[in-house]
């Protein structure tokens, strides 16, 4: 089965399960308030971290360095904000993990190691050859 389809089906099931379990423990009104509070706090913190990342990116550009981490970090913060707006506890946990700089740095480092490993593995993947330019009289007639 396609992994994206599986995620689309599993996320709402997990969210509904968690909402029912947590709602039965702390009450329906408390659960609803907790969902709104995490969304509001998360979006404001995402805004704060986004502005810090933007500032850091401009500093990198002023030093004539490529702001690769800042670009990927900005995308992670945007995804985290979307996850925090979606009601549910599993998406909130994932969103908060993406917002905090320490966990974002760990995720970035793990992805960059995988990319570097794949890049070095495919580095010697080339074909060496020679060519000779042959002029054809038929090409000149066009």
CA 38: distance to chain centroid? 20
* Residue 132 falls inside a structural domain: no
Number of domains, the chain: 1
* Residue 18 falls inside a structural domain: yes
Task: Reduce the DSSP state of residue 135 to 3 states and report it.
Answer: coil
**Residue 100: closest CA among 80, 86, 70:** 80
Q: How far apart are CA 101 and CA 91, in angstroms?
A: 18
Question: Phi first, then psi: what are they for 87, rounded to 5°?
Answer: -70, 135
* Residue 131 falls inside a structural domain: no
* Residue 96 falls inside a structural domain: yes
Range of the structural domain that residue 101 is part of: 3-119
Q: Is the pTM of this model over 0.85?
A: no
pLDDT digit string, tens, across residues 12-44: 999 999 999 999 999 989 999 999 999 999 999
Q: Is the pLDDT of residue 1 over 70?
A: no
Confidence bin at 111 (pLDDT 50/70/90): confident
pLDDT digit string, tens, across residues 68-99: 888 989 999 999 999 999 889 999 999 999 99
Q: Where are the alpha helices (DSSP H) in 63-88?
A: 68-85
């Amino acid at each position: 089965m396609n992994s994206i389809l599986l995620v689309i089906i599993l996320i709402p099931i997990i969210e509904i399960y968690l909402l029912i379990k947590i709602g039965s423990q702390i009450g329906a009104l408390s659960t609803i308030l907790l969902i709104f509070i995490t969304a509001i706090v998360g979006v404001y913190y995402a805004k704060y971290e986004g502005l810090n990342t933007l500032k850091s990116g401009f500093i990198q550009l002023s030093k004539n360095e490529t702001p690769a981490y800042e670009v990927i970090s900005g995308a992670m913060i945007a995804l985290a904000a979307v996850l925090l707006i979606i009601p549910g506890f599993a998406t909130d946990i994932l969103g908060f993990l993406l917002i905090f700089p320490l966990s974002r740095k760990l995720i970035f480092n793990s992805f960059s190691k995988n990319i570097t490993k794949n890049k070095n593995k495919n580095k010697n993947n080339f074909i060496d050859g020679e060519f000779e330019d042959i002029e054809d009289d038929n090409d000149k007639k066009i």
